[in-house]
Structure 1
Amino acid sequence: MTGLGRWHVGPWTARGSLAGEPFEPAVKRTPDELNFDVVGLSRILGRRQSLPEEMLMRRCQGALRPTDPRPCGVETLPAELAGELAALASLAFAWIAERAPAGYRFVLTDAVELEPDPSSSVVPVESVSLGLPVGRVAAAHVRRSAAGDWYAGDAVCNWSGPHATADDAVDAVRRARAELVEELRAAGRSDLAETADRWPTVPVEPV
């Protein structure tokens, strides 16, 4: 796998307690369980394991999941096995991080999370919209309907329109982007608002 075709901002694994933190059974994974999930995520995304890695994961699975169903946030591994799993999880996360879509980055905190990369030369609008309603129009592309009207929307929905011309629809998206900048600042995310000069131009589908 060379890249991700679909993604979402936010956690890609369950959250786990960090080393030294008290466990939260049924709420967060233990550190060993989180490492197990990181490796599992890399497999889901296409990383192939070597035979020794596969055998290690089977040993860890037997220790971490002795019953099914089971509460999370309880099981741990012996120190030596935990160290081997942590090393594999580090390799797996590095593999995941290399495959972050353009304008995004994966980080490992108490979960594997995808977040916008403010240092990127091009920052996707949808990556910084924080779920704000205005973000739907701000991230929209412009297309013409069969009836000849112009709309701003995504692959599923029209979020603005009908408009008489493509320029009118583009202007609606630009106004939404300006509003999004102000809402991001009001939400205390000036770091995201300052990426506005690196948002892509409003895409217009050819007629």
Structure 2
Amino acid sequence: MNSTTKKVYWVIGFLLFLSLVPSIAGVIRISQIATGAGYTVENQRFFNDPIPVLIHIVAVLVFSILGAFQFAPGFRKKNLRWHRISGRFLVFFGLTTAISGIWLTLVYPKVPTDGDWLFGIRIAVGFWMFFCMILGFGFAMRRKFIIHSHWMIRGYAIGLGAGTQVFTHLPWFLMVGGEPSGIPRDLMMGAGWLINFLFAEWLIRKK
């Protein structure tokens, strides 16, 4: 296995790993809704109105897994036809992720552990991801593939925010314990998206 092939596997593996925890959480949530298990006051909104959250979970799962292969340069170059076809699905599920995330934020009752800032953060993140997907697809249709890749990187980075949030919460779990609430939770959630946003901008400029 040459160094280029190793790099491809490392990129795909890292992105799939970052998607792993939220993917597992999503599968558990689907199982809970399907069986009625794990009902609490905090998650009763999912049982009362399950369709939107199920759409969101499935969209995020497909988006994160497809994207892992889209953003490995060596794999993409060797599978251009696959890249074009799956890229359309990626845009669709990315838009579905963004729209359903905004809908969940606006319509579902506020979670007791959420602070006042998190509502605005989620709305901003949802609209940013939506515009990234639209612009990325638009530039691909105009065959401006470099700019297209930039906007898709931005959108995918935001979509993987839940994976990074696992690590922004980790110090709290280790040192404090229990679920954070209020401003600490808002900051840790926001930090996950901010880290991914900054990394995407660094990667774009590095390229």
Larger helix proportion of the pair? 2
Higher relative contact order (CA 8 A, sep 6+): 2
More strand by share: 1
Normalising by the smaller structure, the TM-score range is: under 0.3
Q: TM-score, normalised by structure 1?
A: 0.27
Greater gyration radius = 1
